[in-house]
Amino acid sequence: MNDKKVSKQRLMSKLKGTLQSIGKEASYHALVLFYTLRAPDTPAWCKSVALGALAYFISLVDGIPDLTPFLGYTDDVALMAATIAALSAHITPETKERAERESSSLFNNKD
């Protein structure tokens, strides 16, 4: 999957549709990975790893189906958290702040 398939529109659509299930922390993780993927200074290998984690989150193919109550997003969240840990040296404070603002905005504006 290329990075054009992980557009902000697709990511935001997934996040808005799953807010109750995934929680603010998971939406924050997804946004950190998205903004790290889009940052011009991020090394290519980091972009590939972030892209893989985001593609897994957005994809309908899943280790634990997302419709499974309580467990559906645990694999997605665990993968994103592990990815952030692996890429932490390349995630800027500005990226974290931007993801925090946007994640908070999603939760403050949920209908």
Range of the domain at 91: 22-108
For 12-69, write each residue's pLDDT tens digit. Answer: 777 766 665 567 788 899 999 999 999 999 999 999 999 999 998 888 776 666 556 5
The answer as to whether 47 is a domain residue is yes
Look at residue 78 and tell me if it is in a domain: yes
The answer to whether position 72 is within a domain reads yes
Phi, psi dihedral angles at 46 (to 5 degrees):
-65, -40
Residue 94 belongs to a domain: yes
Burial of 105 (0-12, 13-18, 19+ CB in 10 A): exposed
Number of domains into which the chain is organized: 1
**pTM as predicted:** 0.74
